[in-house]
Amino acid sequence: MKPRSLLLLFFLAGCSGHPGGLESRLLSDYRLTDHRKKGISSTYIYEKPEGKIFIERLACADRASMEKTVREDMLTVKMLYSDTLSPYPGYISYRITADKSVLPEYREKGAGDTYYRYFLLYSNDRLSLGITSMDAASHRYLHGWITRSGNNILYRVKIFEPLDTGSREIEEIFFSLVCRD
Amino acid sequence: MLKKYFMFFILIAVSFVLAVALKPVFHKKNSRLYWFIPDGMRADPGIFNVFQWADEGLLPNIKKMMSRGTYGFCKPVYPGHTPVNFATLFTGSYPEVHKVSDGPMHEEGKPLSSVAVGGFSSVAKKVDPIWLTLENGGARVGLLSIPGSTPPELKNGYTMVGRWGGWGASFHAVNFEEKGSGERQFNLGSSKRLFFFGPPLLIFAESSETEDYPGELKTFSAVRRAGLSAWGATVSGCIYDSTDDGTVNYDRMAFSTDGKTVSVDLKQGQWSEWLPIKLLWHDKKTDTSAEIDTVFKIKVTKLDGKGFFAVRFYYNAMNETLTDPGYIASDMIENVGPMVDFVDNFPPQLIYYPEDRNTFLEEADMSFDWHTRACSYFIDTYRPDVFIHDIYTPNQMLTSRWWMGYIDPDSPFYNEVGDKERDRLWAEVKDMYRKLDRIIGVYLKKARKNDVVVLSSDHGAAPLHTWVHVNNLFASKGWLKCRQDRESGEYIIDWEKSKAVYLKFGHVYVNPAGLHNSEGRWERGSGPEYIRFREEVAESVRNLRDSRNAAPLAKICSWEDAEKEFRLPHERSGDLLISNVPGYGWSETMTPDRILFSRPLKTGYKQAIICENSPCMWTPFIIVGPDIKQDNFLKDDLLSMTDQYPTIMKALGRECPGFVQGKVIRKAFLKEDN
């Protein structure tokens, strides 16, 4: 590792801390590589050699706008895999159809006053949504939202792990994130 | 105690210095990049000589770029279609490497009845686009209306409305017109829908006399009311007669979003202001939806005395689901205004009535105004190191019905208008170029001494005079088995029994054993019978002749030669690849009469043309930067689309990734050997 990178890590570790009000025993496996704040959003990026976690903390105006954000986010994911129309299509073939193997799998779970909603997916090597076949898959990908009753803080979480990571393993990382807000 | 405070101060100071010093450095010279890539901006040494127009004073900002930089004409890769050439510009490689071979792409093992990979999606590219490479190098990147940029890939930048990546809630403009006899609806078939089979772009609405209308309307004939419903919202339209002249001559249309009060009252030719509306973003597959609060504009395109109407609803093209991060949308809308991204739709809707032409021009103006304000505001507010920007309106104009066929002498329709009318059409086209020039002016104004400013485009546009109905040919030979649904007019293909089909834009799929296997998937054929039949199909396309005994085919090859002949990836190519002579366009559309050729309503086209020897498909390339030669016209070189990327990277002082196939345009640099 270059000296400059080491200094950067030192600086980030010293200044950024944990991601807002989220804590996780498993985050110690990762190093915090970036923290940035834009408007109501604070984003924390954690990395380890074969994985990456993006945690975005959104301080929403109220409960309704928080739920609206979650609903729109979820629809964005669903629509990407929903036999979308092909631009400049032919007269005969016009819908983009994704393989069943890469379709998003929605799950949710409550734990105390914390609510976990998420899709299990696959991403390409550029950590993007929307691949239509396993040939393009490079990572196991969990795209989720964590909310807690009683406040308007929304955590948008994206977890990227090696392709052979099982659902339970990636879910374990997600569920290890506990709200302290 | 003082010592403790002193140590604390030192710690803070050291942290601050480290934070500043260790911020990733984008470039040793700190050059920013402003790259403007209007879609379909034709530039050639003949009739679209933009450099000559600039010399003549028509395009002052392009002239400034020419004086301060290096410029020339550029040839797109094959096919001359948006997603392919944007991918080439952004990766410096041919489709054989970046793998975007077309808009709709098919792959072995998937059904041909649907598209396996959409070329406009960011995930279609198999190598990194320039925005990721630069972001990984520390640049803060902004992307506006860039095809292939969504779903978003930037992790620390700004992605705004990537065209047609299937990401976010896009609400395309919708036209409504009086249902009348329904004959027009039948004739239009599926072309009245977005991308042919999507949400309708043209909705036929039935009006009827009513007593129930807002009280403030003073009418002298019976009011006719029509419900205008699109995207889950209904607007009531009341056609009324404001003239007390004893005759029924409707002249106004009032619109109400709540069914009770008048939101806006318009006569033919008028636009409303932006009006609030709540639209429904709905996923049919999972039956889930979200309401999106947005705004829209109404244009009364046509309203005759008898009450026949044609109106257009243009919906704000930006909302929080279409930008990343989402808050950019509200900031841009608040400070720039609701987004008019581009004019018209695909398939085009503003081509049916003479009045559509004016609507087209007005909407085009609104899109130029928005983009001009947007790039200025974004750069001032977000100060990106890299900003890449596209506007789709030029393509829409040059491939529409109204212009290309009557201004390019290569079109057989050229003499269908007189010189005076042609002068007017040219004035409108050049006015569009002036508006592009105005956007370039923003970049030149914002650019500092060391910044790099680039003007490119993805393709030009050729006159279109004939559709070639390849699938009618195959159906008449018994190779394509299909039936027409009586109600919808759509053709239903029997894929297992079909042996040949043409799919956009330049691909023919052939298999004598059937195009789909028993599992409903396409498998590439092989063996002597496959080779023999493929040659028979190829021969049938070679032998096509129109009424003038001219052949539409320019070049044909089999998939094994896809890389060699077209630099396309064989795995995303049909069994036969076919390109057409300029003037023709391959069409998937089938008709009951099995005609092989027809006259299109639109008069411009670009997709399946080999660009090298077709100047109508060429584009401009101008680069301005600190190490770039000034007033340097590369008039003897036809530049390659792949060479722009490495040239820009060199101007920024950056290394190219290994996959880049293009070469630096060394003549552009002050020190050519570097």
ipTM of the complex: 0.87
- For residue B328, give Cα distances in angstroms to B54, B143, B159, B167: 35, 12, 9, 16
Which residues of chain A neighbour B327 with C-beta distances below 8 Å?
38-41
- For residue A96, give Cα distances in angstroms to A72, B576, B577, B595: 21, 22, 21, 29
Interface probe for B, chosen from A37, A93, A103 (most Cβ of B below 10 Å), is A93
- Which H helix or E strand runs over B558? strand B553-558
Number of residues in chain A? 181
Residue A90 pLDDT > 80: no
CA-based nearest residue in chain B for residue A34: B156
Which residues of chain B neighbour A12 with C-beta distances below 8 Å?
none
Rounded percentage of chain B residues whose pLDDT exceeds 70: 92
Interface probe for A, chosen from B98, B150, B191, B195 (most Cβ of A below 10 Å), is B195
Q: How many beta carbons lie within 10 A of that of residue B552, not counting itself?
A: 24
The DSSP letter of residue B655 is P
CA distance B608 to B597: 16
Q: Helix or strand or coil: residue B328?
A: helix
State the average pLDDT over residues B338-354: 92
Residue pairs spanning A and B at CB distance below 8 A: 180
* Residue A79 distance to chain B (closest CA, Å): 6
CA-based nearest residue in chain B for residue A96: B115
Domain boundaries defined on chain A: 3-175
Q: Per the CB < 8 Å rule, is B151 touching A80?
A: yes
Q: Per the CB < 8 Å rule, is A130 touching B22?
A: no
Q: Which of B123, B290, B503 shows the shortest C-beta gap to A72?
A: B290
CA-based nearest residue in chain A for residue B149: A128
Q: How many CA atoms lie within 13 A of B453 on its CB side?
A: 22
pLDDT bracket for residue B16 (50, 70, 90): low
pLDDT bracket for residue A106 (50, 70, 90): very high
Q: Which of A41, A94, A133 shows the shortest C-beta gap to B195?
A: A94
Q: Per the CB < 8 Å rule, is B166 touching A84?
A: yes
- In the numeric block, which tokens belong to residue B541? 């396309």
Residue B202 pLDDT > 90: no
pLDDT bracket for residue A26 (50, 70, 90): confident
Interface probe for A, chosen from B85, B115, B479, B509 (most Cβ of A below 10 Å), is B115
Beta strand A114-123 pairing with B33-36: unpaired
Per-residue pLDDT, B137: 95
Q: How many CA atoms lie within 13 A of B43 on its CB side?
A: 30
Q: Per the CB < 8 Å rule, is A89 touching B504?
A: yes
pLDDT bracket for residue A179 (50, 70, 90): confident
State the average pLDDT over residues B210-215: 90
For CA atoms B42, B45, B48, B53, the dihedral sign is: positive
- In the numeric block, which tokens belong to residue A176? 């290890």
Q: Helix or strand or coil: residue B623?
A: strand
Q: A11-15, A111-115, B620-624, B627-631: which has the minimum mean pLDDT?
A: A11-15
Which residues of chain A neighbour B607 with C-beta distances below 8 Å?
88
Q: Per the CB < 8 Å rule, is A92 touching B503?
A: yes
Instruction: Note the pLDDT tens digit of each residue in B351-371.
Output: 989 999 999 999 999 999 999
> CATH topology for A3-175?
Protein Transport Mog1p; Chain A (3.40.1000)
Q: Which of B22, B132, B166 shows the shortest C-beta gap to A8?
A: B22
Nearest to B344 by CA among B331, B321, B362: B362
For CA atoms B527, B531, B532, B533, the dihedral sign is: positive
Q: Per the CB < 8 Å rule, is A76 touching B168?
A: yes
Q: Which of A14, A39, A88 shows the shortest C-beta gap to B15?
A: A14
| Sequence-ordered list of residues with C-beta below 8 angstroms from that of A164, at least 6 positions apart, any chain | A140
- For residue B302, give Cα distances in angstroms to A35, A62, A78, B299, B310: 55, 45, 39, 9, 5
Instruction: Note the pLDDT tens digit of each residue in B529-557.
Output: 999 999 999 999 999 999 999 999 999 99
User: In which residue are the tokens 């990194």 written?
Assistant: B128
Q: Per the CB < 8 Å rule, is B283 touching A75?
A: yes
Per-residue pLDDT, B29: 60
Residue A15 pLDDT > 50: no
Which residues of chain B neighbour A97 with C-beta distances below 8 Å?
110-111, 114-116
Q: Which of A76, A78, A124 shows the shortest C-beta gap to B286?
A: A78
CA distance B312 to B174: 6
Q: For residue B235, how far is the Cα from the chain centroid?
A: 28
Which residues of chain B neighbour A53 with C-beta distances below 8 Å?
none
Instruction: Note the pLDDT tens digit of each residue in B38-77.
Output: 999 999 999 999 999 999 999 999 999 999 999 999 999 9
* Residue B23 distance to chain A (closest CA, Å): 8
Phi, psi torsion values for B175, nearest 5 degrees: -100, 140
pLDDT averaged over every residue in chain B: 92
Residue B143 pLDDT > 90: yes
Q: Which of B103, B117, B327 shows the shortest C-beta gap to A132?
A: B117
Q: What is the pTM of this model?
A: 0.92
pLDDT bracket for residue A40 (50, 70, 90): confident
Q: Per the CB < 8 Å rule, is B128 touching A69?
A: no
Residue B506 pLDDT > 70: yes
Residue A47 pLDDT > 60: yes
CA distance B13 to B21: 12
Per-residue pLDDT, B9: 60
CA distance A69 to B503: 39
CA distance B91 to B106: 22
Which residues of chain B neighbour A129 with C-beta distances below 8 Å?
123, 151, 167
* Residue B294 distance to chain A (closest CA, Å): 14
Residue B181 pLDDT > 50: yes
* Residue A91 distance to chain B (closest CA, Å): 5
CA-based nearest residue in chain B for residue A37: B156
Q: Exposed, middle or buried by CB within 10 Å (0-12, 13-18, 19+), for B547?
A: exposed
- In the numeric block, which tokens belong to residue B168? 């976010």
CA-based nearest residue in chain A for residue B126: A136
Interface probe for B, chosen from A9, A65, A88 (most Cβ of B below 10 Å), is A88
Q: Could you give the domains of chain B? A: 171-316 (no CATH), 466-599 (3.30.1360)
Q: Which of A14, A38, A80 shows the shortest C-beta gap to B166?
A: A80
Q: Per the CB < 8 Å rule, is A80 touching B167?
A: yes
Q: Per the CB < 8 Å rule, is B166 touching A14?
A: no
Q: Per the CB < 8 Å rule, is A75 touching B22?
A: no
More confident of the two residues B636 and B14? B636
Q: Per the CB < 8 Å rule, is A85 touching B198?
A: yes
State the average pLDDT over residues B323-352: 93
Q: Per the CB < 8 Å rule, is B504 touching A11?
A: no
Interface probe for A, chosen from B85, B194, B196 (most Cβ of A below 10 Å), is B196
Residue A25 pLDDT > 90: no
Q: Which of A7, A85, A90 shows the shortest C-beta gap to B504?
A: A90
Q: A18-32, B212-226, B324-338, B653-667: which has the minimum mean pLDDT?
A: A18-32
CA distance B438 to B90: 24
Per-residue pLDDT, B484: 80
pLDDT bracket for residue A1 (50, 70, 90): very low
Following CA atoms B467, B472, B473, B477 in sequence, which dihedral angle do they give, to the nearest 10 degrees? Answer: 180
Q: Per the CB < 8 Å rule, is B115 touching A89?
A: yes
Q: Which of B165, B169, B283 shows the shortest C-beta gap to A82?
A: B283
Nearest to B367 by CA among B317, B311, B442, B440: B317
Q: B198-207, B320-329, B550-559: which has the minimum mean pLDDT?
A: B198-207
Which residues of chain A neighbour B164 with C-beta distances below 8 Å?
87
CA-based nearest residue in chain B for residue A71: B290
CA B320-B322-B324 angle, to 5 degrees, is 80
pLDDT averaged over every residue in chain A: 86
CA-based nearest residue in chain B for residue A3: B22
Which residues of chain A neighbour B123 with C-beta distances below 8 Å?
124, 126, 128-132, 136
A62 neighbors A152 (Cβ within 8 angstroms): yes
